Each structure stands twice: as C-alpha cells, then as structure tokens.
C-alpha cells in the first residue's frame, strides 16, 4: 500500500463513509472509470489504488475526468430530493383536474407513493394530495366568485370526483361550506 499522508487518509475515510460534510472540500476521481465524484456519492466504493483526490471540480476536469451522473459534482448545489419535489409540484399544478393523467405522471417519477409523500411533505409541509385539493379548492373559489354555476358543476369543473370529498376539502381549506363562501362574498360585495 502506498504511503498516504493524513489528509489523503481522511479523504479516503470520508469517501468510504459517503460523508456529505466533506462535499465541496474535495473531489475524488477514479482512474479506471474516468469519472470524478463528491465524497457523499453513493456509487460503489472504488479500489484505493484507482483513486486520485482533487481540491476542485475544475482540477478533476483538467485531469481528464468527467463528472458523475449520480452525485453531479459539476453543480454548485445538488439537491435531488428538492428537484423531485419541485417536479411533483409542477405535475400537480398541470394535471390537478385530470385524475388519471395526474396519477400516471406522478408514477412516472419512479418513487413509491409513501416516498413521494415524504419528499413532498419535507419540501412543502403538506402531502401531494393536500396540495392537489388546495389547487382544486382555489379553482372552486374562482367559480363561486365569477359564475352562478351550481355547487355540483363547480365541484366537477374543479377536479373533484365526489360531492362529499368536495365539501370536506372545501371546508378544510376555507373553514366554511361553498354556499357560505358564496354568501359571504355576496355580502362583502354589497357592502362596498
């Protein structure tokens, strides 16, 4: 085994432990693959004799190595869970009216339903279902304000599949029934 100074030994230990506290402090390259990574990369641990350490990502590139696609050492900040949550949010916003398409697009992300809920809740403080219902209620509020459509029409136009779910979610978000919301809105408008 080659003589390794203390600094390299500490880096090697951080690499083996996938220690994120060392991210940005150094990068490591694997000579046999031609790839460089962050210390926190979850890829298979390389053989010690194939590893070379770099202080910056630029040094690794100058050494002829390309960035790992898993840990993305070429990005200043890499937060895959945040990106996944943002992607889920965009899907919810685009497809909240279309149940089947929403379900399909969310399943295309490749996470279990429980994991999606955990990731989304960690980022936004609510579950994807709560967010979708909030979007639907906001749409209902718009229809209650701008149209004279009946409650059933509004519920269906806003993506709710049942009237009972609509009433439950509307009250949960607004603190009142759709009828009370419309009446309060009308009273407020008359007072102006």
Single pTM value for the model:
0.60
The CATH number assigned to the domain with range 6-67 reads 3.40.10.10
**Residue 15 in contact with residue 47, Cβ under 8 Å?**
no
The CATH number assigned to the domain with range 79-187 reads 1.10.10.60
Cα separation, 91 vs 110, in Å, equals: 14
DSSP summary character for residue 56: S
* Residue 140 a catalytic site member: no
pLDDT at 190 over 70: no
The percent of residues above 90 in pLDDT, for the chain, comes to 68
Task: Calculate the alpha carbon distances from 85 to 10, 95, 115, 126 in Å.
Answer: 34, 15, 11, 11
Q: Comparing 2-11, 27-36, 67-76, 159-168, which segment has the lowest mean pLDDT? A: 2-11
Other beta carbons within 10 angstroms of residue 3's beta carbon come to: 5
pLDDT at 78 over 70: no
Location of each CATH 3.40.10.10 domain in the chain:
6-67
- DSSP β-bridge partners for residue 29: 36, 52
What average pLDDT does range 12-36 have in this prediction? 91
**Residue 53 in contact with residue 63, Cβ under 8 Å?**
no
pLDDT at 2 over 70: no
The catalytic position among 18, 37, 92, 140 is 37
Return the exposure string of 143-163: e unless at least 16 CB atoms fall within 10 Å of the residue's CB, then b. bbeeeeeebeebbebbbbeee
């Amino acid at each position: 085994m080659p003589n390794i100074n203390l600094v390299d030994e500490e880096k090697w230990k951080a690499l083996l432990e996938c220690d994120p506290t060392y991210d940005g402090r150094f990068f490591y390259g694997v000579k046999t693959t031609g790839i460089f990574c962050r210390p926190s990369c979850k890829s298979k641990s390389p053989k010690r004799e194939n590893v070379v350490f770099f202080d910056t990502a630029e040094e690794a590139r100058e050494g002829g190595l390309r960035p790992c696609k898993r840990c993305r050492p070429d990005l200043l900040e890499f937060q895959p869970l945040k990106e996944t949550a943002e992607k889920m949010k965009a899907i919810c916003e685009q497809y909240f009216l279309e149940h089947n398409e929403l379900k399909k697009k969310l399943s295309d992300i490749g996470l279990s339903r429980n994991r999606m809920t955990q990731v989304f809740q960690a980022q936004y403080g609510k579950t994807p279902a709560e967010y979708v219902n909030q979007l639907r209620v906001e749409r209902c509020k718009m229809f209650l304000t701008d149209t004279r459509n009946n409650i059933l029409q509004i519920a269906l136009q806003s993506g709710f599949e049942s009237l009972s779910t609509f009433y439950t979610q509307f009250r949960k978000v607004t603190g009142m029934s759709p009828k009370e919301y419309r009446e309060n809105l009308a009273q407020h408008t008359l007072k102006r």
